[in-house]
Amino acid sequence: MRKVLAVVLTAFWGMPAFAGGVALVLGNEAHDVLPDAPGAAGVMATVEALEGLGFLVLSGEGLNAEEMRAQLAGSYDQIAREEAERVVIVLSGHFAQSASGVWLMGADSRDDGLALADAQGLRLTTVMEIAAQATDDAVLWLALPEAQEVDFGRGLQPGLPAALDVPNGVSVLRGPVGAVIDGLRASLRPGTTLANVANSSRALSGEGEMSSSVPFLPEGFAPGARADQRAWAEAQEGDSEASYQAYLTAFPNGQNAQAARAELERIRNAPDRIEAALFLTRDERRAIQRDLSILGYDTRGIDGIFGPGTRGAVSSWQERNGLEATSYLTRDQIFTLAAQAADRAAEIEAEERAAREAAERADREFWALTGAAGDEPGLRSYLERYPEGIFAGLAQERLQQFDAERRAEERDRDLAAWRRARARDTVAAYESYLRDWPEGAFVDNARARLEDRQPRPEPAPPPAAAEPDPAESADMARARAAEAALGLAQPTRLLIERRLVRLGFDPGPVDGVFDDQTRVAIAQAQRRFDLRPTGYVDQDLLTMMVSNLFREFFD
């Protein structure tokens, strides 16, 4: 049965703490085809000692070549990832050698010889090259099981060569399983050199970097404390909830555990996180901005977005209320802010109501002094001060009446002046009318009368090129045709002439005959109604005259 173990300080593939080193322990005792290697699994007893000193240990027993290479790859990854200072590799089982290399054979290896040695075993040169990646020291322990004749096939011999090609920075110790276990444990005592370990046991032999002065583990070696400090430094550099939590996971009772918990509390109680945990909706944010605005703080808009304007307003409010100016709100602060805004809104409403009442009193008092008497100067004085006042509509209505009365008086005087001119029916009378009433309603009539009474000069012959305007003649012809199409009866013509008189025009004698004077009056009426002044009655003029008649009737 194969057994693969990955015993680590915390979690494999990315522990947060720094181990004292990386170790790989492989013991292949049981084999599927080849004879077993008695005692090889005993090296697994070194795992606990390595772990006790803070080594990150990967181990396995009864592994085939692929599984051993996988464990070696995991060790290589951890050595590079953690920049391991020390590397310990313990191998035990059947070793096979040739002129080209040495292999620890897998539990499923056969007697297929040199050609398949790499497929069935783990090459030691690769193992030593990976061990050399340690930043300080690396040691390879080769534990030999009890002697036994094993046939690996053509080109392979059992056992280890007399000497290995050991790379710089690597020490190799070999010997029986028991001696290797004892020697490894001895080497893990701080202050012990590998040379002293080898010299103290006749069963062990060493080669490579076998220093007699530099211990494998220095005096006072405390990888846990160093790992603690390095992990704490990494947590502080990250300065996040995740980094401090990772430190506490690795060192729940570490030297900096209390400080890590305090930092976690700081981060979790950070003002921005407390506000974010409220999950304020856009409408709730708008309500907060409205409350701040009511209290006189400028949020630069009520849009539900907490930008620099809103944050500045929050800070100012916090300062005024004796709070820490974080610019972020807690739930209690939001409630306090809302209560203050509600109180202030009530005050503002009361102030506005009082101001309205005072303004209304002033309005009424001024009306009593001015417009209430009903005279025009008083009404105008009121409107000048209160154009939108309580009595503005009434004042405007009364002023319109004054204006209407003046216009009516003006029309009456105009009509009286015209009648006097008609009664005299002289050039002087009409000229006097035009002089006194240049904008009068009968100006056209007066000019027509004057023209009839002025001596007419002999008409000059028209220029050879002068021709009547065909468009004007055509318009007049259409106007005459339109009037004819109405088929105006005598009573209707009489009614039209009376209506013209009612409107202030002079159609001449009201006899149902449309003479030149009548045509002038018709044209004047058309101008008043913004119609084309043809002097001929059409449907539009009739409609306007009738509607105006009804309006006067109801007025």
Say if strands 170-176 and 137-144 run parallel, antiparallel, or are unpaired.
parallel
| Amino acid found at 530 | D
Query: Could you say which DSSP state residue 30 is in?
Result: -
User: Is residue 94 a part of any domain in this protein?
Assistant: yes
User: Is residue 303 a part of any domain in this protein?
Assistant: yes
The token pair at 442 is 């009968």
Signed CA dihedral, 9, 15, 19, 24: sign only:
positive
Residue 36 near residue 30 (C-beta atoms within 8 A) = yes
Residues 306 and 409 occupy one common structural domain: no
- What digits encode the pLDDT tens for the residues 488-510? 888 888 889 888 988 888 988 88
Residue 26 near residue 71 (C-beta atoms within 8 A) = yes
Burial group, residue 180, by CB count within 10 angstroms (0-12, 13-18, 19+):
buried
Residue 247 near residue 228 (C-beta atoms within 8 A) = no
Residues 236 and 294 occupy one common structural domain: no
Number of Cβ within a 10 Å radius of residue 127: 24
d(CA 141, CA 60): 15
Tally the residues of the chain. Answer: 555
The token pair at 277 is 């945990």
Residues 116 and 12 occupy one common structural domain: yes
Residues 447 and 335 occupy one common structural domain: no
> What pLDDT score does 9 carry?
38
The residues facing 170 across adjacent strands are 138
> What pLDDT score does 15 carry?
40
Residues 111 and 178 occupy one common structural domain: yes
> What pLDDT score does 12 carry?
37
User: Is residue 50 a part of any domain in this protein?
Assistant: yes
What DSSP string runs through 354-367? Answer: HHHHHHHHHHHHHH
Residue 92 near residue 28 (C-beta atoms within 8 A) = yes
User: Is residue 278 a part of any domain in this protein?
Assistant: no
Residues 122 and 22 occupy one common structural domain: yes
Residues 449 and 546 occupy one common structural domain: no
Helix (H, G, I), strand (E, B) or coil at 544: helix
Tokens 């921005």 belong to 272
The mean pLDDT values, 10 residues at a time, for the chain of 555 residues are 47 42 94 92 92 89 95 92 89 95 95 94 96 90 88 94 93 95 92 92 92 83 69 90 89 87 88 91 95 95 94 96 94 95 95 94 93 89 93 93 92 92 88 92 90 64 52 81 88 89 88 89 89 90 75 55
Give buried/exposed letters for 471-510 (b at 16+ CB in 10 A, else e). Answer: eeeeeeeebeeebeeeebeeeebebbbebbeebbbbbbee
Residues 151 and 233 occupy one common structural domain: no
User: Is residue 252 a part of any domain in this protein?
Assistant: yes
> What pLDDT score does 251 carry?
84
Residue 496 near residue 543 (C-beta atoms within 8 A) = no
* Structural domain count of the chain: 5
Structural domain boundaries enclosing 114: 3-208
Distance of CA 157 to the CA centre of its chain: 72
Tokens 């056969």 belong to 110
Give the largest Cα separation in the chain, rounded.
164
User: Is residue 183 a part of any domain in this protein?
Assistant: yes
Tokens 């080849």 belong to 34
User: Is residue 165 a part of any domain in this protein?
Assistant: yes
* Nearest residue to 222 via CA among 61, 57, 20: 20
User: Is residue 133 a part of any domain in this protein?
Assistant: yes
> What pLDDT score does 231 carry?
84
Residues 87 and 200 occupy one common structural domain: yes
Residues 21 and 137 occupy one common structural domain: yes
The token pair at 6 is 């990955």
Residues 36 and 171 occupy one common structural domain: yes
pTM of the full predicted structure?
0.45
Residues 83 and 115 occupy one common structural domain: yes
> What Å distances lie between residue 537 and 304, 405, 544, CA to CA?
68, 31, 11
HSE-up (13 A, CA, CB side) for residue 52: 9
